[in-house]
Every structure is written in structure tokens, then in C-alpha cells.
Amino acid sequence: MGSLITLLFLATACGNEQSYEPRDVNPDIDACEVCNMSVAHVDFATQIIEKDGTVHMYDDIGCMVKYLNSEGKNIDIAATYVRDYETLEWVEYEKAYYAYHPEFWTPMAYGVVSFAEKERAEAFVANEGKGEVLEFEGLQKLDWTMHNH
């Protein structure tokens, strides 16, 4: 009987896992934690949510990556989101697809544009006539420097 109660408790505890949903961007008050620019271009916004609920907003994925590679190593991250460039839906950072070219316009000139679906990233690159489509692993190999437009 004791083991049955333990199993029920464990099953219940697993079902109470906290969800870390992305927060809407408020361009009037949200500023990038790295460059301090307003998060005015909501189609390029990214965010990190800590397990305590603290939300960190960024105006460009490059700023978020810089944060993750520095101060981000010292926080307890629950979720990381990027914005689909076309639909504005939030997409998990590790599951998104990215179009990259140094000449793609982004708020801080990192040249990375996020998409929920690979086909839309491919269509973006085809329409621009340049660039490449990357998944999360490929994105980790980029040299995160700002490019001049």
C-alpha cells in the first residue's frame, strides 16, 4: 500500500511541472539587456525566462546569444524564445530555423532572422537571393559579430 501511495504522489508531482510561457513585448518599456535599445522591432525580439519567472528581453538574437555566453551562464534558465519573423509567434530557441547572411537587416546587425518552419526560412533566403538556413546546431558555430549594412 505504501508503494502505491508513493507512485500516486510521484505521478501527481510530475503533472505539476511549471510552464514557462513567453511574455508579450511592450516596446514602450522593454529594453534590450545587452545594448539597452528599445525592443521596438517586435519581429526580432527574443527572451530568456529564468526558473524564478524573471524575463530578460533582447532586441536581436545576437544580443541574446552574447548574454547567454556571458552572464547567462550564471542564471537558472527555464526557457528561451525567439520570434518567428513572419507570424510573430514565439518559438523555442533550440527548435527554430534561422536565415543568416551578414547583409540581412536586423536591429543590431547580426544578420540572423528566426522562423518556426524550415520551409519559410528557405523561402526567405530564396527571396533575398543570398544567405543560408541554419538549425540550432549551425547557429552555435556563427561568429557573433555585428555587420555593417
pLDDT tens-digit profile of 74-101?
899 999 999 999 999 999 999 999 999 9
pLDDT of residue 147: 82
**CA pair distance 38, 96, nearest whole angstrom:** 24
Q: Are 124 and 82 in contact (CB under 8 A)?
A: no
Q: What is the pLDDT of residue 10?
A: 44
**Residue type present at position 84:** D
- Considering only CA atoms, which of 145, 54, 69 is closest in space to residue 108? 145
Report pLDDT for 73.
87
Question: What pLDDT shows up at residue 149?
Answer: 58
Hey, where are the domains in the chain? 21-139
pLDDT less than 70: residues of the chain = 1-17, 149
What values do phi and psi take at 67, rounded to 5? -65, -45
pTM for the structure as a whole: 0.85
